[in-house]
Amino acid sequence: MSLNLPNPSILGILLVVSTHSGPQLVFQYPPDLSNDSKKSSNLKRTNKTSTLQRKDSDSDELDIDDDDYIADNENDEEFVNADNDEEKEWDSRKMNYYLGTKSDLLSFLDEQEKFRQTSQERNKIYGHKQSDSHIDPDEIKSLHRNSKSGSSDKQIESPKLEASNSNNLKKTISSISDSQKSSTSKASTSGIPPVSPITSSTILGFEADYLCEMLCPPKQMCNSRFEIMIDDLVFLGLPIHSYDNGSWKSKHSHRPKSGKSSKGRSKNAADNASIDEGIDYETTSKSQSKNSMSMFHLVFIMNPPIIECNYRIDEMFHYVISRLSLVLRYEQSKHEYVWNQIRMIYNLKEEFRNQATMANLTKYLTDKSSLCKLISECFTQISRSNIANLSINNKLRSFQIPIKTEFHSLPDSTVPYLPGSHLSSTVNMLANTGLISVGETIRYDVNNLNSGGLDDFDDIDDNKSDSNADDIIYYALLLLDDPETIIRDIKAQQQSTLANFIRMIKPTESLLKLANKLKQQASDNGFSLDAGQIKSFAFHLIYWRRARVILPISTRSVYIVSPMAPITLKFHHDIFIFKKTFPALPSLPHFLKLLSNSSKPRQLATVIPSKDHRDAYLNALSWLIRYGYVTQLHTFIWLKISRKIKMKVEEDLENEGANNKRKKPSATADPNISNKLNAGTDNTSKTESNPEDIQRKMSQLRMINRNNNGNPTSYEQEIDNIEKKLLSPSIGLNLVLEDEGDTIIIDPGRASSLERRWINKVISEECNLSPELTVKFYELLKYMNGKNSLELLLLKENVSRQELRTLLFAIEDHIISVRHW
């Protein structure tokens, strides 16, 4: 199991609506849901366990009531093992398998079993004769009513039913099929929208009518997450129901101010809250349509692995189902898009009624109906883990389940991941934006399994998340494909603003630098973009999996071979590609050796032979970062407070307290109370008692010992030794309390008053910084928390490397530095 690998686990999509005529299945994709090999194998098991081996539990009898059918488990098992020829006739992959009602079929099987029990007696009477006469369904129902009447000793005298007669079974099924067709034609004349016989087949072994009723929940259960599991199949959706006034959006609904949601799958806001929080738009009179549709439900059928079930379901609901359903609700409220498309689908089915196959009908519907087309494209792209670009009422919408190709820490050795994944702590900047999905780093992470990346991490500060998202302007974009290929794939016009922006992206320049360059060139070429537009384009390219966020590539930065480099998977193939792309540079193994040759990581500039090779080496480095072979080494620092500094600050506090108390007049006449007030806080020792008090207490201990024992003992000698030690004048010098170590300030930007005293003592007395360095120190103090790299600090605060080097050298005894990705 690995949650890092894409696994949509989607089997199909159903569109179900509820009208005045009742629940109806409008469209299904793919069309051959009942013929899938995996589903048919599951259905074969379901037929044996659910249809023939009926349980006594009410939870297993999903199709009929207890009053309609009472089965015997042991007799059903004997019937299944007795006749293999009849089992072929009851193959779930056949179209005639579920024709008729379940009550009729199960009643017939019940009567067959009862005749098997009395077969020996009947064989003696009728001489093992077999009848080929037709079995009337009404007769089967009457026999079934007789079997429920309670007369167990009454024998049914009819030679027309034999357990071994497969021809009778075939004729019964065909008779029930004719009865169902006639009832369908009656429904058509009663005003119900016609349903083509092509679509009235089984779906994953379940009757279409049965699924429609199950997937159309009551109004109270709509507008929230819908999830039901039958066998190994999960039916997941977001049923959209109209309100009493005919609108599709509640007037009083509002978007919550905070995006936080409680942890856990059962408490997820997307699961339990109303979907009115999704899209904010005002209800118009047009939304109060007078159509007969009261609910529509886009249902995704999934079959995820058991150990990943919760995670995959949450993932699909959060990224695809909820967002797509909300968009459809918006279009229905504004333009009645869903209802117009459903009426079109009914008309197209009527035109196509006399055609041959279900596949032809599906192709015909997807060509004519935009709703059917978007459902088919959604299934095709999501099942392949691609981005689904859907046209919904002539508006382009994108949906995807983000692929985990970026990690902030090294995954466990037992957790597989996609080859070429990127390892860098910079992915934390976008971890909460929904643009990327950071991969799991440990085996069976409880948070990953339960939350599925769906909650917004309650322990993260909102302001901090917003600032991190804004930091993208200081980063660079690394395109994951050729610029012209990206422009063609996203279907952008060749001379559009987005196309020109993509052509100008360089991994060596930050987006802020690119924005400043565009401002300078705006007067010449008339092409200008502000920082907000550039950030928006960057987010789009990241979401479309066309770019990756990195720090600008520089020759002064340090790069190492990534621990996640695909050495064992793609190395031999990439050697040929690297040599073809950069023929003038060393081979791929030799290039990686240059980066990891010395024991101490070094700057890229030490690897480049000359300035003429600079651009070629930078291009090769960007290629290696793109395919996961190389990652940048970042530097993180913490501010350390030594024990010496803390003792000095403590002395200063005691002196300040003593001075304040001397200046303050006595508040009481009691000398004992006055002494206690002037004593202050003494953390050194409690041995400064009066010697007379010590002797008096020791004599009391001796008297107690004599009263108990009658004569001095060794206990009294021990008391004398303790008394000598306590009366010794050097006791205060020899007594040492707990030896406290150094302290690391976790968040110096939010330091307490005591921590600020420590920091001031370091700057003023220990380091003796100049006024210029002191100002620079306090500007950069908030970055000394081990979370912000110094490489990013140089870009955000516009600090030169020389200034930073001088400051770090001055305070090097009071900082802890760590270098990692």
| DSSP of 225-244 | -EEEEETTEEEEE--EE--T
Q: Is the pLDDT of residue 128 over 50?
A: no
Report residue 669's pLDDT band, with 50, 70 and 90 as the boundaries.
very low
CB 623 within 8 A of CB 553: no
CB 1 within 8 A of CB 308: yes
Report residue 303's pLDDT band, with 50, 70 and 90 as the boundaries.
very high
Position 4 scores a pLDDT of 87
518: Cβ contacts below 8 Å, ≥ 6 apart: 504, 527, 528, 529, 534
Report residue 485's pLDDT band, with 50, 70 and 90 as the boundaries.
very high
Only one residue has tokens 């508040």, namely 667
Residue count of the chain: 821
391 beta partners: 396
**Both tokens assigned to 790:** 């110094």
Q: 422-423 and 406-407 as β-strands: parallel, antiparallel, unpaired?
A: parallel
Output DSSP code: residue 766: I
Mean pLDDT of 619-647: 91
Q: What is the residue type of 606? A: T
**Both tokens assigned to 646:** 């803390």
Q: Is the pLDDT of residue 526 over 80?
A: no
Q: 714 phi and psi, to 5 degrees? A: -65, -25
Helix or strand run (H / E) with residue 347 = helix 337-351
Q: Is the pLDDT of residue 97 over 90?
A: no
Residue whose C-alpha is closest to residue 34's, from 25, 43, 26: 43
Mean pLDDT of 454-475: 54
Q: 35 phi and psi, to 5 degrees? A: -105, 5
Stretch among 24-28, 299-303, 702-706, 744-748 having the lowest mean pLDDT = 702-706
Stretch among 85-99, 104-118, 275-289, 405-419 having the lowest mean pLDDT = 85-99
Mean pLDDT of 721-729: 58
If phi > 0 it is left, if psi is from -120 to 50 it is alpha, else beta; for residue 208 that is: alpha
Output DSSP code: residue 389: E
16: Cβ contacts below 8 Å, ≥ 6 apart: 23, 24, 25, 26, 211, 212, 215, 216, 296, 297, 299
Rounded Cα gap, residues 26 and 208, in angstroms: 11
226 beta partners: 237
CB 149 within 8 A of CB 196: no
Stretch among 86-90, 352-356, 598-602 having the lowest mean pLDDT = 86-90
249 versus 232: the higher-pLDDT residue is: 232
Mean pLDDT of 220-240: 91
CB 31 within 8 A of CB 364: no
Q: Is the pLDDT of residue 198 over 60?
A: no
Q: Is the pLDDT of residue 156 over 70?
A: no
Distances (CA, A) of 329 to 62, 120, 238, 284, 323: 31, 64, 10, 14, 10
Rounded Cα gap, residues 77 and 632, in angstroms: 65
476 beta partners: 550
Q: What is the residue type of 350? A: E
Q: What is the pLDDT of residues 449-461, one digit of tens each?
A: 343 333 333 333 4
Helices (H), 258-386: 269-272, 309-316, 322-335, 337-351, 358-368, 370-383
Report residue 601's pLDDT band, with 50, 70 and 90 as the boundaries.
confident
Q: Is the pLDDT of residue 597 over 80?
A: no
Q: Is the pLDDT of residue 264 over 50?
A: no
Rounded Cα gap, residues 549 and 429, in angstroms: 9
Report residue 1's pLDDT band, with 50, 70 and 90 as the boundaries.
low
Give the burial class of 282: count Cβ atoms within 10 A of its Cβ; 0-12 exposed, 13-18 middle, 19 or more buried. exposed
Rounded Cα gap, residues 282 and 334, in angstroms: 10
CB 360 within 8 A of CB 284: no
Only one residue has tokens 């890092």, namely 4
Burial 175-207 (b: 16+ CB within 10 A, else e): bbeebbeeeeeeeeeeeebebbebbbbbbbbbb
On average, the pLDDT of the chain sits at 71
Torsion of CA 501, 507, 508, 513, to 10 degrees: 40
Position 239 scores a pLDDT of 94
Rounded Cα gap, residues 453 and 440, in angstroms: 10
Per DSSP, the three-state class of 291 is: coil
73: Cβ contacts below 8 Å, ≥ 6 apart: 53, 54, 55, 56
Stretch among 393-397, 530-534, 730-734 having the lowest mean pLDDT = 730-734
- What radius of gyration, in Å, describes the C-alpha atoms of the chain? 39
Rounded Cα gap, residues 820 and 163, in angstroms: 75
Q: Is the pLDDT of residue 428 over 80?
A: no
Only one residue has tokens 């110096």, namely 748
Q: Check: pTM over 0.85? Answer yes or no.
A: no
CB 78 within 8 A of CB 119: no
CB 429 within 8 A of CB 395: no
Burial 466-475 (b: 16+ CB within 10 A, else e): eebbebbbbb
- Greatest mean pLDDT among 353-367, 426-440, 807-821 lies in 807-821
Only one residue has tokens 């179209």, namely 95
Rounded Cα gap, residues 750 and 345, in angstroms: 62
Position 357 scores a pLDDT of 61
Give the burial class of 500: count Cβ atoms within 10 A of its Cβ; 0-12 exposed, 13-18 middle, 19 or more buried. middle
Rounded Cα gap, residues 134 and 242, in angstroms: 49
63 versus 501: the higher-pLDDT residue is: 501
178: Cβ contacts below 8 Å, ≥ 6 apart: none
396 versus 272: the higher-pLDDT residue is: 396
C-alpha 733, offset from chain centre:
61
Residue whose C-alpha is closest to residue 240's, from 135, 346, 323: 323
| Long-range pairs for 797-803: beta carbons < 8 A, 24 or more residues apart | 801/556, 803/776
Q: How many other CB atoms are there within 10 angstroms of residue 570's CB atom? A: 16
Rounded Cα gap, residues 662 and 654, in angstroms: 12
580: Cβ contacts below 8 Å, ≥ 6 apart: none
Position 385 scores a pLDDT of 92
Q: Is the pLDDT of residue 119 over 60?
A: no
Rounded Cα gap, residues 486 and 492, in angstroms: 9
Q: How many other CB atoms are there within 10 angstroms of residue 242's CB atom? A: 24
**Both tokens assigned to 568:** 């064992």
User: Taken in order 91, 93, 97, 98, is the CA torsion positive or negative?
Assistant: positive
Q: What is the pLDDT of residues 376-399, one digit of tens each?
A: 999 999 999 999 999 999 998 999
507 versus 126: the higher-pLDDT residue is: 507
Position 322 scores a pLDDT of 94
Distances (CA, A) of 619 to 384, 553, 555, 611: 31, 9, 12, 14
Q: Is the pLDDT of residue 265 over 70?
A: no
What is the residue-wise DSSP string for 588-640?
Answer: HHHHHHHHTSSSS--BGGGT--SGGGHHHHHHHHHHHHHTTSEEEEEEEEEEE
Position 721 scores a pLDDT of 65
Per DSSP, the three-state class of 295 is: strand
Rounded Cα gap, residues 605 and 104, in angstroms: 82
C-alpha 594, offset from chain centre:
39
